[in-house]
Amino acid sequence: MHKLRVAIVGASGYSGEELLRLLLAHPNLELTCITSRQEAGKPAGAVFPRYRECQLRFIQPDVDQIAAQADLAFLALPHGLANEYAAPLLQRGLKVIDISADFRLRSLEKYARYYQSEHPAPELLQEAVYGLPEYYRQDIRQARLVACPGCYPTSVLLPTLPLLKVALVETGGIEAFSMSGVTGAGRKLAAPFLFPECNESLRPYAITGHRHLPEIEQELALAAGVKELHINFLPHLVPVNRGIHSTILMQAKNEKAGEQALECLQQAYQNEPFVRVLGKGELADTKNVTMTNYCEIGCAYDPHTGKVILSSAVDNLSKGAAGQALQNLNIMAGWPEDCGLR
Amino acid sequence: MHKLRVAIVGASGYSGEELLRLLLAHPNLELTCITSRQEAGKPAGAVFPRYRECQLRFIQPDVDQIAAQADLAFLALPHGLANEYAAPLLQRGLKVIDISADFRLRSLEKYARYYQSEHPAPELLQEAVYGLPEYYRQDIRQARLVACPGCYPTSVLLPTLPLLKVALVETGGIEAFSMSGVTGAGRKLAAPFLFPECNESLRPYAITGHRHLPEIEQELALAAGVKELHINFLPHLVPVNRGIHSTILMQAKNEKAGEQALECLQQAYQNEPFVRVLGKGELADTKNVTMTNYCEIGCAYDPHTGKVILSSAVDNLSKGAAGQALQNLNIMAGWPEDCGLR
Amino acid sequence: MHKLRVAIVGASGYSGEELLRLLLAHPNLELTCITSRQEAGKPAGAVFPRYRECQLRFIQPDVDQIAAQADLAFLALPHGLANEYAAPLLQRGLKVIDISADFRLRSLEKYARYYQSEHPAPELLQEAVYGLPEYYRQDIRQARLVACPGCYPTSVLLPTLPLLKVALVETGGIEAFSMSGVTGAGRKLAAPFLFPECNESLRPYAITGHRHLPEIEQELALAAGVKELHINFLPHLVPVNRGIHSTILMQAKNEKAGEQALECLQQAYQNEPFVRVLGKGELADTKNVTMTNYCEIGCAYDPHTGKVILSSAVDNLSKGAAGQALQNLNIMAGWPEDCGLR
Amino acid sequence: MHKLRVAIVGASGYSGEELLRLLLAHPNLELTCITSRQEAGKPAGAVFPRYRECQLRFIQPDVDQIAAQADLAFLALPHGLANEYAAPLLQRGLKVIDISADFRLRSLEKYARYYQSEHPAPELLQEAVYGLPEYYRQDIRQARLVACPGCYPTSVLLPTLPLLKVALVETGGIEAFSMSGVTGAGRKLAAPFLFPECNESLRPYAITGHRHLPEIEQELALAAGVKELHINFLPHLVPVNRGIHSTILMQAKNEKAGEQALECLQQAYQNEPFVRVLGKGELADTKNVTMTNYCEIGCAYDPHTGKVILSSAVDNLSKGAAGQALQNLNIMAGWPEDCGLR
């Protein structure tokens, strides 16, 4: 069988490394090209000693070179570079799966507000598909350009969307408390991410305007069929390497609705390969999903306040980034969705 | 000066160990007696090698022996033993500072519901004082029996009470999301607390009926001047040794009220020795308070949802248990409140 | 193709869980049976929520039942049970790969001394093969009974055996300093393994007679062609989940020999699928091998003392236990040695 | 009483922060001045939120300003700056306690070799006193310039010096295996010290020429009364914040000598306020000494190899740096040696 040739553009961060891990093990793919400005020239194993056996070398992120070597490119770049990579790669006939935030928001205004710069490629926004397979599978199948969801949004949307779609819960007063491992911050050389600063530290950050907030609100509003919807999204940094846990509160429409929530989730996801809805009384634990592409979801109803309490766990680098990106690729290529992901 | 003789009843757990640390260093105290059923006969240093130089030996928790050696007893026992220790020690003339949950709830009915047994000493409930110095200092001064607040309640009440007292926020819809280090579970030999089960794990537990919930609700209702009040309290276990962080959402009465919240907290605590209200934009981090008796509080207003977002950090073993117990003792004895706590 | 049916006897510990992970993913195997006294009756996913999708249930470890369902059994049991499981399973025609210590030592006297009981099945000792594939591959191919090396011995033997075999180093004065993650202690409910007791703790243990000492000495002596040889083996417990790192000192025969050591290792392992000899100046890091079956080896010569300094890293549960067990199975079955191990 | 005025020059690193903690709590001192090039102008609490109540501001490290405000200066600077700070401060009449490496080595040649530059102030070397109180107390009392030992040397020298002094052990073949927490690397912005790179990682570094090696060898040779002596010193980085553990092997002169080693240590340190020699069979654990100025020492004899096996634990920032610096100050000032250190 002819293998699909893929490139990772911006492969020297944690998401890039996780993509490397997954793509090297995928039976239908040939990873032909990994780029990195600062690591160009070095073999993969010199940057990621885990993958010492990998023969690839980092190259400079030159669009023509990438296009010459690959049929599809994963972009694991900072946001804001869409016109430098996504646009020209599409033009050269590649498909693009973007792990950055450039094509997640439908509103140019919100992009500009939350990312503090004009959108780099507004002409592509229309065609970009939000890469949450459980909700956009049909569109992903045809897509040339997929915008992979953020790690936090993945952990918040999967447990909440089914309940909003069937209106078991109110659209107001949704609160999402999330905890993330430190790889979520990327491989950033900044004092707050040094080991002694993170270890034995529990801290919130960006509690009133995290960049994942408008992304979450956009998808919640779409599911609820409302124009706009506001939530509190409260991210916390905690001393683990991998994993995001979200606990989400939603007001049940009424007691009966609250008690139906768990069953609603179980039905919604019964055929999904990567969503595990836990049994009654069970709660999500990141430990059970790290290094996998699963999202684990627990659901309880609290009659004392009328809230549905959701707990979800994903690996921020896998289902929250590289794993989901590969799941999207499998869909685009018409392969089994879990190919290379077990 | 004649030193006050004190005993720690149930000194072999983490709170007991922290009390040992603090009491040994206190200039006005003589720690005369430490008890433990399972460690009786052993020197303190054999159980806690950090305190190898301590000459005390654990004894069996015999009420007469304790009474013969101490003027005041700290009870660091499981709940439910009030009639075995608190009652007879008070009868023998000792003062008692109870770190267990026995005297925290004013309602016998709630005690029975949440602790699944009848209250062991209802006749003492009336006189017990809730040992949150910032709110009950006057009563603590005269008290014979002080019920130290739970670790989670301390972290939730200190940031919220001032706002409820002056009605800047609604009494409905309060949500407290807390993360605790593993010493919060005590020195319990159970699989979920083994190192490999906690490390790299993020997980909620007891999200719909934790024993600290009625305690928090009781004090919130008192501060708000309402009969009853319901909140969601969502505890999580995270891989640190010490520290509790709580992020709390309260609905501001209106935008102006929301924007006044930080100043309200700053005023409320300006003379408090152990409450630090952070500046605008700052958020609490457990790393800054571990091994201290401080509670650190951050406050933000989110105009996008109208919520006041509070973040607080305490050391669960210090301000959340032993440190606060000692702060109470200092008050009872008429000493400077921070004596032995810097 | 007919799949080989395998059983895991004693599957509820950390090594059992790792075997479960590997065997479920192996293309040529059917895992038919997992046993556990204390978990019998429960589905695999109830004990190991990571493997929630696994349909197997734990059964009681009944020899006849195991024999009825499997062609080969992995024993992940405490030592001392050889006559209860290994012997009767062999008798019933199964092959056995034993992860316990029962068949590692050739000397009954040393077994009795270090394990403080008589050997449970001395009649089988003769035929048992030490399952270190890099050295016993030929024998493993024919074996009915394989004794998998201990985790520490694997990490100490792989870097040292090649140098002893060609006599680049002295047989006297070998020192092995090892650090192990806490899963190395098993899922033991004991206070020293609670999270708060391990986190932020660095400690040696069993420094003068660890049970892995005679096993290491036995294989070193065989490689060196001497009758007896004594080393210092110094294990330490450190706060990571997985991983063993060993730093080993050996006296070079002379300066030239010392400088040849790295090349000797590179040659010895150039065709080995799971041994990585690092380049000059590189040192082993457990982070690069966790969740893999690799042993990573660094080698330096210190002219200032004449010592060869070896550093090695393995995942204690994988190359140190379950992964190596599966590597042995692959050899026994005539499959590619890395089948199911990438 | 007139308080001694002290300055911390280079106060923005981890050792500086620990000095801040200790000096603020010391009853006889007034901390008047803290310097930092990059933090100049900021209040102490803005850099170290734990010490939010501290009113000091960082200033630029100007020698005249420091001299105007302090009687004694702690230098917590990188090595190589002795002629910029130590020399001119001494000239202006201050006493200096240097935590850097500049005055630890007596040999200019070794300084140049291991620190790769000429010694910055050779004229002061003669008068500098090595600040290991247990061995140089008399000289420290009179000293103007004290060179605080490195963290690793402290942990290696305290257990070994007594045995060399009375010649119970050979001077050849000494091996020291050490593990250090990540604060030992300083607050350095480098990828290897990011949380995800350290967590779940065990790794050696600088195993053939660490800068603490000649310092250790110098003091061992002095104790042994030999001109030169070579050891292997093998440092490892492990995921804890604080703490150094060293396991050291020394060849006993004979069996009787080996068995006397523990008693020799117990006698040597029986009156030392900060050295704890453990009982027979006990081993050092960093957990017992973090946040204290203790060095904990265990000692065993292994008749099977004839080695004395020492284990020691210190807090790298306390007894390994700031605590020991303060212990030296107490000696210089004629105060009780443990003043401010309990």
- pLDDT tens-place string over residues D83-93: 999 999 999 99
Nearest to C94 by CA among C144, C31, C130: C144
Q: Least CA distance to D239: which residue of chain B?
A: B199
Full set of structural domains in chain C with CATH: 4-148+321-333 (3.40.50.720), 152-314 (3.30.360.10)
What are A265-291's pLDDT values in tens digits?
A: 999 999 999 999 999 999 999 999 999
Closest chain D CA to residue B342: D25
Q: Contact, C178 vs C245, CB < 8 A?
A: yes
Mean pLDDT for A11-25 is 96
Q: Alpha-carbon distance C218 to A290, whole Å?
A: 39
Q: Can you give the pLDDT at residue B196?
A: 98
Q: Is the pLDDT of residue D1 over 80?
A: no
Per-residue pLDDT band at A109 (split at 50, 70, 90): very high
Residues of B labelled as active-site residues:
151
Other chains touching C, judged by 3 or more CB pairs under 8 Å: A, B, D
The pLDDT-based confidence of B2 (bands split at 50, 70, 90) is confident
> What number of other Cβ atoms are within 10 A of residue B280's Cβ?
11
Q: How far is C285 from chain A (nearest CA, A)?
A: 9
pLDDT of amino acid C1? 61
Q: Which chain C residues are closer than 8 Å to B193 by Cβ? A: 194-195
| Smallest Cα distance from A339 to chain C, Å | 13
**Which of B268, B274, B262 has the alpha carbon at shortest distance from B154?**
B274
- Four-CA torsion C147, C151, C152, C154, nearest 10 degrees: 60
Q: Does D283 touch chain C (CB under 8 A)?
A: yes
Q: Is C299 marked active-site?
A: no
**Interval A124-169: pLDDT, tens:** 999 999 999 999 999 999 999 999 999 999 999 999 999 999 999 9
Edge-to-edge order in the sheet of strand B244-251: B203-204, B232-237, B175-180, B244-251, B307-314, B295-302, B275-277
How many CB atoms within 10 Å of residue B90? 18
Contacts 24+ apart (CB under 8 A), C127-134: C128/C98, C128/C103, C130/C104, C130/C219, C131/C97, C131/C324, C131/C325, C131/C328, C132/C157, C132/C158, C132/C219, C132/C324, C133/C274, C133/C324, C133/C327, C133/C328, C133/C331, C133/C337, C134/C158, C134/C161, C134/C269, C134/C272, C134/C275
Q: Which residues from chain A sit within 8 angstroms of residue D194, using beta carbons?
A: 182, 187-189, 193-195
In terms of DSSP H, where are the helices of chain A? 14-25, 44-47, 63-69, 86-91, 108-115, 133-142, 151-165, 195-198, 212-224, 255-268, 323-333
Determine whether the interchain pair D50/B285 forms a contact, defined as Cβ–Cβ distance below 8 Å.
no
Annotated catalytic residue, options C151, C198, C295, C299: C151
In DSSP terms, which residues pair with D70 in a beta bridge? none
Contacts of B239 in chain A (CB under 8 A): 238-240
Mutate to test the interface with D, among A42, A194, A200 (most CBs of D within 10 A): A194
Cα C139 versus chain centre, distance: 17
Q: Which positions in chain A touch B204 (Cβ < 8 Å)?
A: 245, 247, 283-284, 298, 311
Structure tokens given for C326? 């599966």
Residue B266 CB coordination number (10 Å): 16
Mutate which of B195, B199, B317 to disrupt the C interface (most C C-beta within 10 Å)? B195
D171 and chain A: CB distance < 8 Å anywhere?
Answer: no
Answer whether A291 touches B (CB < 8 Å): no
Interface test with A, best of D194, D237, D241, D242 (most A CBs within 10 A): D194
Answer whether D288 sits within 8 Å of B50, measured CB to CB.
yes
What is residue C337's predicted lDDT score, i.e. its pLDDT? 98
Crossing angle of the two packed helices C151-165 and C133-142, in degrees rounded to 10: 100
Cβ proximity of A67 and A89 under 8 Å: yes
Per-residue model confidence (pLDDT) at position C2: 82
The reply to whether A1 touches chain D by the CB within 8 Å rule is no
Tell me, what's the pLDDT at A230? 98
Q: Which of A25, A50, A200 sits opposite C288 (nearest CB)?
A: A50
- Contact (CB<8Å) C189/B191: yes
Tell me how close the Cα of C291 comes to any Cα of chain B, in angstroms: 14
Q: Are D152 and D218 in contact (CB under 8 A)?
A: no
Cβ neighbours of residue C321 closer than 8 Å, sequence gap 6 or more: C15, C18, C76, C99, C148, C151
The answer to whether the CB atoms of D285 and B25 lie below 8 A apart is: no
pLDDT of residue C278: 98
Q: What's residue A173's pLDDT? A: 95
Per-residue pLDDT reduced to its tens digit, D249-261: 999 999 999 999 9
pLDDT tens string B163-192: 999 999 999 999 999 999 999 999 989 999
Q: Is the pLDDT of residue B126 over 80?
A: yes
Instruction: Tell me which of C155, C180, C203 to substitute to probe the interface with D (most D C-beta atoms closer than 10 Å).
Output: C203
**Strands ordered across the beta sheet of A203-204:** A203-204, A232-237, A175-180, A244-251, A307-314, A295-302, A275-277
Q: How many CB pairs under 8 A join A and B?
A: 148
The pLDDT value given to residue C331: 98
pLDDT tens for the 342 residues of chain C, in order: 689 999 999 999 999 999 999 999 999 999 999 999 999 999 999 999 999 999 999 999 999 999 999 999 999 999 999 999 999 999 999 999 999 999 999 999 999 999 999 999 999 999 999 999 999 999 999 999 999 999 999 999 999 999 999 999 999 999 999 999 999 999 989 999 999 999 999 999 999 999 999 999 999 999 999 999 999 999 999 999 999 999 999 999 999 999 999 999 999 999 999 999 999 999 999 999 999 999 999 999 999 999 999 999 999 999 999 999 999 999 999 999 999 998
Q: Residue B286 — very low, low, confident or very high, per pLDDT cuts 50/70/90?
A: very high
**pLDDT band at D2, cuts 50/70/90?**
confident
